Amino acid sequence: MDKDEYSPGETVKIRVIALDSDTLLPVTGSIELTIKDPDGTVVATWKESMTTKGLWSTEYPLGDEAKEGQWRLIKQKSDENYYYLQQVFNVRQQELPDLELMVSTPVSISCENSTFTVSIEARSITGRTVNSNGTVEMLWDGYAQGKTMTSFVLPASGKTNLSIAVSEQDCRMQNWGQWYTYSSLQLRFRISNAVSGINGTAVAAIPVDSFSLSLSSYMTINSTRVAFYFTLDPQGSGQHPPARVNITTDCQNYSYIATSFQSELVDIVPGSSYVMKRECPFGYHILHATKEYIGQNRRWKDPTDNWLYDAEYQQLWLVPSGSEFPVGATATFAVMSQEANITVMFEVATRGKPVQTGTLRLTGNNGTLSIPITEQLKPTFTVTVIRTAGNGGAQGVAYIGSEVQLRVTGDYFNKVNITYSPSKVFENDDVLVRVQGPPNSLVAISVVDHRFLFNFNGSSVSNHIDTDTWLDLYFGQNTARKPIEQRRKRAIETGPTNASLTNGETFWVEKRTDATGIATITLRLSLGWWGVYAYALSDTSGLCVANTWSIITVEPRDLHLSLQAPTRVVRGETFLAHVTVVNRAKQPANNVRVMIKNSTDLLLTLVNASSPSDPTKDFALLINTIPAESEVTVSFPLKPVHLGLFDIVVAAFYDTWTAFSDQLIRVIAEGVPVSPSYSVMVDLRVNSTFNQVVNTTMADNAVSDTGSTTITIYTEMLRASVDGLDKLITMPSGCGEQNLILLTPTIFVSKYLQTTNQFQGDLRDRALSYMLIGYQRELNYRHSDGSFSAFGDSDASGSTWLTAFALRSFRHASEFITIDDNVMTIAENWLLSQQQGDGHFNEPGRVIHVDMQGGVNSQETMTAFVLIAFLEKNASSLQPANKASAVAFIEQRLPSVTDMGALAIITYALHLANSAKANDAFTKLNALRTTTVKDTYWQPATGSTSRAIETTSYALIIYLRRNLDLDAFPIASWLLSKRNSLGGYQSTQDTVLALQALAEYFKRTSGSAQAPSATVTITADANQTTYTLTPATANATRQWKLPFVPKSVGIVASGSGMFIVQISTNYNVIPVTTAPSTGRRRRAAEATISVAATLVTDTLAALAVNVCPRSTSVTGMAIVQIDVPSGYEVTQAAIDRLKSANVLNLKRVELNDGQLVLYYDSLYTANYCATVEFNRASDVVGTKAVFVRVTDYYSPEVTNSARVEPKAAQKASVCDLCGSSCSGCQNSVVSVVEATFPAASTTVAATTATARSTTRPVSSSSTASCHWLSISVAFLVGHQMAAAF
């Protein structure tokens, strides 16, 4: 196991090794694995056959909200002895420290007065000098006692030795007049540098030398006395002087009445064990023992009492001559019995199988058994002696025996050797890792950030196996970000040969060794320590392992460059790029020049200049001197004037040394992004020509130069939804209902893909991964009674509506992933407990989607919704009586239902229940449809577009259930026309229902679909392009990208078949605040909600905004989105304070891509104000206004906003932030000179930028107004600068 702790959002990678328990050679077999979350809920299972001999691997993704705590990976095996194996891993939010610490301590310490030395080495992962203050806290047995804190200083090199004195008084405690010894000393190191901000921690535990008592065996003597045999073992290094121990024992019965007190002084010799015997009267079957140590000046008692229990009638005893033996030695055993002159049987077993059996004749009551120690007995073996008692027949036979387990010393497996070159590794060096194993063997290699090894729990394959039952499966985890359970088999032996790893990453690969037994990989590692581990599987040599992790130290060069800048700014703001030049050499660096690449995109702003610098000229800041082993920081003010992807490229050099660095920055537009989308169904099946013009004009409040357009032709009707499964809607999705947006639509799309034979490869892996993460997340909203609610335990009760929705989703998901049966069964039982005597289902919780209930008709709508959850997948827990009473209730209420949305839900439920009233309901629903030349849809009179999509989706499902496929086409066409640019709709419910309906429709009609054969001409203002569609290229996607939003798009097509033209526009707008309506009745066309935002703190260091949303009528769930101003951040402490402020109806707070999102389960006229705090994180001046938006989640067009102007940051100057590090500011330590940026940097930056861009995802929703910009870092050494100054 390469690490035992994961953060949410990482991926657990699993390897399984299977060996024959006799030969230890790799074998194939079946794999049965289960993962359980901290609540014990099954979240994944695998039942597969191994395809590679001896090795199987898979991966399991952890969602961003994976439950924190102990997770278990379980391997079950059923044979004559059922058992299971488990591997525990922890999940918790964690941040790796900026400073890596390597601490070396003694193996153990003595409580005698002594001093021991601790070696400390620290290394900054950013390459900065250490020069830090540190403290070490001493905790005995985890508790601070006596003198607990020692301070020390780390020099620039990061290396020092620390002497720690320990006295008898330090590691003893007194209780009730007795002195006790602590068992371990824990050292907690903390390092911090106030200037650079780097910090680090480390923990080391050192055992205290002591002695343990363990029961070896026991026997009853002549039915009158009980003999206890126990062993006294030293615990620790065994390197300390002899000690004297006083052992005190007493015999106790099961009422803990003591008798037969006895003491014995024992002189201990290091490395020796002592077998001791005590006899107790018959009936006293407990031996109580304590240890007291006798030092030079005092006596002290061990804090642990020992309680040894017998089995009352032990009659045979086996005592070994030691606890471990090397190969080639002979282990001898004293065999004693109550009966004289008997023959006993013995068995020697290893890895769960007998390897030697025989008999031994005792002379009198004693005998000696000798066992030769061979390789076959590794790693542990068990010796058992037994005799039979009774009449010797098959009936009434009793077995009396004794058993001991012993270890064979030495390596258990063959060796794998790991070497690397060069022996001294610097940043950006290529490191060749060479693994030597058996020829033509399969080598598994793991590369791990050393900081993960601090908590390393030893569960990688090791030469030290602690059980005599061979566990034939080993597990390991890794954080490579790939899917999933039941996934496509990952190709073994064909992994990459090269890998570039940055801090916090790990790498996992399998390769075949060549004929000489060599396998190699090339690594490029960031600064710090890296662990490399490997093992090999050979058909002839079995499993071969490395003894330990090989540590690669990656050091910074003598001249190191560190660049710090914001990762996101708004166009027109000015930010500071701080460049720290680190001189690690033993002599000062003089006349160091630091340069920045000027451009027309990021204008270098010279302080005190009347205008930005000439973008065609580069500049250097001259640093007169950087002392030895020191660093100096200089700053460049930059002002982005364009939107897009940019590199901040800097260089530093002196003499023949040169270093380059560049960093990603994302420049976004003012205002907020909007993405109007238009879907046009082109149907040439009846008419062979098509002509339509779509008005795409931007809104009046659009921000200039922010528009872009993507026009896509889809011949596969659901392709847009398939491609956007991870982000189907633009709204935040952080509650129990919205979370299902990742799970439920993926299920229905996957069913369609299965029918059309497209559910395979990476698409299958991706879909299954989304389902797994969606299932994980939804379990966070589960109550202890098995119900679900929008915000989990923060809600007073589970919700019938959400529990039904979750159950419905889980039932469908179980076709693809493992859903714990208990989760579904308990949810079903909870739902049934809500059914009332008249058949309807009660709602004890809040329904955040109030429109779903259809106003006053909530009982019948809720009952119909629950019935759908049971009946769609034929849940067996719904008894006929429950079903009948629910159906009867709905049928009785049907005549009075007038709400169109409620009627659609009820009609679908009655069809699923095969109700006699289903036709009546359908007739009533059908009469309410709206029909145009091309489309059919249902638009509730007082509802939003989102609700119309929901209602129409139910109608399409009903049409399909009634086999009205031809009549269903105009309904499907209308739903497709409302799809957004991401492939989803406006909210969770409309997206789920629309994709369920469309997936079912296209699944039903896919066999009769005609591949298009057509010519399509698309005109966007004065621009035009033409595409030819043929059956041979039917699955190809055609896409036209424009850097602007046209006023209109014209589509002219001729030919045959059917396809979709999707027009996706993106631009920013400056939100317009609308006064809230004063009416009590909600109308979608009116803004019934509003928000006020007031700055209560406005400084360069911090901001605080009081946000007050409200509504003139009761809403369902509402969200407030607060843009984070450039240069500021929301800390976790600020989020925690907001959560604990008891804001009315505020249920959830989350930080999401530059926005703080507040979730309210309802808004009305009360006080819902919340204060949001921001702290400065980077240096930005001229900060643009940000916006606070409130939105009715289920009616997204009902929204409003407020503007926040951070005046302090808007008015601040560059010198207010950078001080002496900027040229032109007061007391500046640098001067500016014009220069020519070195040409070599262009190649370096371009190369590394390309490498980085392949590992960092770009959001499919990013536009010209919101881009990820490429970051890269590169360094050159020994490059002579040709530029003149």
pLDDT digits (tens, 9 = 90+) for 667-702: 999 999 999 999 998 989 889 999 999 999 999 999
Q: In the chain, what percentage of residues exceed pLDDT 70?
A: 81
Is the pTM higher than 0.85? The answer reads no
pLDDT for the residue 400: 65
End-to-end CA distance of the chain: 55
> Residue 855 phi/psi, 5° resolution?
65, -125
The pLDDT confidence band at residue 129, using thresholds 50, 70 and 90, is confident
Q: Which of 201, 287, 184 is nearest to 235 (CA)?
A: 184
Tell me what the mean pLDDT of segment 212-230 comes to: 57
The pLDDT confidence band at residue 194, using thresholds 50, 70 and 90, is low
pLDDT for the residue 473: 36
pLDDT tens by residue, 278-306: 878 877 878 888 877 776 555 666 656 77
> Tokens for 158?
């990061």
Query: Judging by beta carbons within 10 Å of its beta carbon (0-12, 13-18, 19+), is residue 447 exposed, middle or buried?
Result: buried
> Tokens for 1206?
């951070």
Question: Is 465 within 8 Å of 549 (Cβ atoms)?
Answer: no
d(CA 538, CA 535): 10
pLDDT for the residue 231: 64
pLDDT for the residue 230: 66
HEC secondary structure over 1157-1186:
EEEECCCCCCCCCEEEEEEECCCEECCCCE
Tell me what the mean pLDDT of segment 823-827 comes to: 95
pLDDT for the residue 972: 93
pLDDT tens by residue, 767-817: 898 899 889 999 999 999 999 998 888 888 999 999 999 999 999 999 999
Q: Is 793 helix (H, G, I), strand (E, B) or coil?
A: helix
Q: Which of 49, 183, 185 is nearest to 106 (CA)?
A: 185
pLDDT for the residue 1051: 97
Question: Is 530 within 8 Å of 448 (Cβ atoms)?
Answer: yes
How many C-beta atoms surround the C-beta of residue 865 within 10 A?
24
Cβ-defined contacts of 149-152 (< 8 Å, 24+):
152/120
> Tokens for 393?
């027949």
pLDDT for the residue 216: 53
Question: Is 745 within 8 Å of 990 (Cβ atoms)?
Answer: no
Produce one character per residue of 231-254: b if its CB has 16 or more CB atoms within 10 Å, e if not.
Answer: bbebebbeebeebebebebbbbee
Question: Is 871 within 8 Å of 912 (Cβ atoms)?
Answer: yes
Question: Is 657 within 8 Å of 559 (Cβ atoms)?
Answer: yes
Tell me what the mean pLDDT of segment 193-209 comes to: 75
> Tokens for 408?
């064979």
pLDDT tens by residue, 61-98: 998 889 999 999 887 654 433 345 678 889 988 777 77
Across all residues in the chain, what is the average pLDDT? Answer: 80
Question: Is 875 within 8 Å of 812 (Cβ atoms)?
Answer: no
Candidate ranges 602-606, 801-805, 1270-1274, 1275-1279; pick with highest mean pLDDT: 801-805
The pLDDT confidence band at residue 865, using thresholds 50, 70 and 90, is very high
More confident residue, 54 or 399: 54
More confident residue, 83 or 1030: 1030
pLDDT tens by residue, 1000-1027: 998 888 766 678 999 999 999 999 999 9
More confident residue, 1228 or 1126: 1126
Q: How does DSSP assign 128-192, residue by residue?
A: ----EEEEEEEEETTEEEEEEEEEEEE-TT-EEEEEEEE-TTTTEEEETTEEEE-SEEEEEEEEE
Q: How does DSSP assign 594-647, residue by residue?
A: EEE---SSEEE--TT-SSPPPTT-EEEEEEEEE-TTEEEEEEEEEEE-S-EEEE
d(CA 1149, CA 1058): 45
Look at 174-188, 401-415, 1105-1119 and tell me which has the smallest mean pLDDT. Answer: 174-188
More confident residue, 15 or 310: 15
What does the angle CA 751 – CA 754 – CA 756 come to, to the nearest 5 degrees?
115
pLDDT tens by residue, 466-480: 332 233 333 333 333
Look at 685-694, 853-862, 1071-1080 and tell me which has the smallest mean pLDDT. Answer: 1071-1080
How many C-beta atoms surround the C-beta of residue 559 within 10 A?
22
Any idea which residue has 């909200």 for tokens? 65
More confident residue, 956 or 620: 956
Tell me what the mean pLDDT of segment 749-768 comes to: 87
DSSP, res 352: T
Strands 83-91, 5-6: pairing kind: parallel
pLDDT for the residue 955: 97
d(CA 949, CA 943): 10
Question: Is 100 within 8 Å of 450 (Cβ atoms)?
Answer: yes
Q: Cα 1217 vs. chain centroid, distance in angstroms? A: 36
Question: Is 720 within 8 Å of 714 (Cβ atoms)?
Answer: yes
Q: Which of 26, 22, 29, 21 is nearest to 438 (CA)?
A: 26
d(CA 468, CA 477): 25
More confident residue, 176 or 1269: 176
Candidate ranges 308-312, 788-792, 925-929, 1258-1262; pick with highest mean pLDDT: 925-929
User: Does residue 737 have a pLDDT over 90?
Assistant: no
User: Does residue 854 have a pLDDT over 50?
Assistant: no
Question: Is 1052 within 8 Å of 1014 (Cβ atoms)?
Answer: no
pLDDT for the residue 806: 93
Strands 550-555, 425-426: pairing kind: parallel
Tell me what the mean pLDDT of segment 212-222 comes to: 54
Q: Is 1085 helix (H, G, I), strand (E, B) or coil?
A: coil
How many C-beta atoms surround the C-beta of residue 1147 within 10 A?
23
pLDDT for the residue 1280: 26
pLDDT for the residue 1205: 94
User: Does residue 586 have a pLDDT over 70?
Assistant: yes
The pLDDT confidence band at residue 1093, using thresholds 50, 70 and 90, is very high
